[in-house]
C-alpha cells in the first residue's frame, strides 16, 4: 500500500463505524422528500492520516420510517477517527441509512473540503443503483 511522505497519524479501522447507532421513527404521513445536511462530518484519510471534512447531504422519500436526527449525529461522530476513503464513506453511509429506513428513494452526497486543489464530490442514489442492478 502506498504511503504519504512526511508525518502520518494513527487512526481507527472501519470496524469503529457504528451503524447500530442509527434509529428510525415510524412515519405515516404523505410522501415527501426529506433533506438533511451537515457540515460537521469528518473522517480520516487512510493514505495520510489527515482529517477529511465534508458536507453530507441526505435526501430521501420515506416508506414508513424516518431517521431520528440525534442518532444520525451520533452515527456520523463514529467516523471521526476512522480511516476511510471518501468514496467508501459515501457508500457506507448510503448502505447503513438504507438498511435503517428502507426508503422509496435515497440519495447521499458528500462534498469534501478542497485538498491539493481538487474538490471531491461523491453521490450515490437509489435510482442509479436500480438502473445498474437491472443490467
Give the catalytic positions in this structure. Answer: 45, 52
Q: How far apart are CA 113 and CA 115, in angstroms?
A: 6
CA-to-CA separations, 114 to 33, 40, 52, 71, 120, in angstroms, rounded: 29, 15, 9, 28, 7
Give the residue from 60, 71, 53, 58 showing the smallest Cα distance to 111.
Answer: 53
Reduced to 3 states (helix: H, G, I; strand: E, B; else coil), residue 108 is strand
Listed in order, strand segments (DSSP E) in the chain are 24-26, 34-44, 51-61, 65-67, 105-112, 121-125
Q: Cell for 61?
A: 422519500
Amino acid at each position: 500500500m502506498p504511503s504519504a511522505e512526511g508525518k502520518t497519524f494513527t487512526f481507527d479501522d472501519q470496524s469503529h463505524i457504528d451503524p447500530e447507532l442509527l434509529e428510525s421513527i415510524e412515519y405515516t404521513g404523505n410522501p415527501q422528500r426529506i433533506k438533511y445536511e451537515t457540515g460537521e462530518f469528518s473522517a480520516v484519510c487512510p493514505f495520510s492520516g489527515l482529517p477529511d471534512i465534508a458536507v453530507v447531504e441526505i435526501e430521501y422519500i420515506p416508506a414508513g420510517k424516518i431517521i431520528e436526527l440525534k442518532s444520525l449525529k451520533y452515527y456520523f461522530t463514529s467516523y471521526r477517527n476512522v480511516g476511510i476513503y471518501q468514496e467508501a464513506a459515501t457508500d457506507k453511509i448510503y448502505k447503513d441509512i438504507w438498511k435503517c429506513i428502507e426508503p422509496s428513494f435515497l440519495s447521499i452526497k458528500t462534498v469534501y473540503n478542497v485538498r491539493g486543489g481538487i474538490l471531491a464530490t461523491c453521490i450515490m442514489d437509489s435510482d442509479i443503483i436500480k438502473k445498474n442492478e437491472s443490467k
